[in-house]
Amino acid sequence: MADQEIIKHTKKILKVSTDHTKSWKHKLFEIIFEIFIIVFAVTLSLYLHERAQKTEEHHLQDEFLLGLKEDLQNDIKELSEDSLSYIKTIKGFRYFNRVGLEQSTKDSIPYYWTTLFSTADLQPNDSRFQGLKSAGKLYVINNKKLLNDILDLYQEKIPMLLRATNMYTDFKINRLVSYLEINLSSNNRNDNNLKELVKKSQELRNYLSTDDAIMDIIKRYHQVMDQSRLLIHKISKEVGE
Model pLDDT for residues 38-55, shown as the tens digit of each residue: 676 667 666 666 675 676
3-state class (DSSP) for residue 129: helix
Is the pLDDT reported for residue 16 higher than 60? Answer: no
Q: How far is CA 12 from CA 24, 33, 36, 134, 165, in A?
A: 15, 11, 13, 47, 72
95-117 burial by CB neighbour count: b if 16+ within 10 A, else e?
A: bbbebbeeeeeeeebeebbebbe
Whether pTM > 0.95 for this model: the answer is no
Is the pLDDT reported for residue 117 higher than 50? Answer: yes
Is the separation of the CB atoms in 82 and 221 below 8 Å? yes
The predicted pLDDT at position 7 comes to 63
Question: pLDDT band at 167, cuts 50/70/90?
Answer: very high
Is the pLDDT reported for residue 101 higher than 60? Answer: yes
Is the pLDDT reported for residue 159 higher than 70? Answer: yes
Domain boundaries along the sequence of the chain = 67-238
The predicted pLDDT at position 107 comes to 83
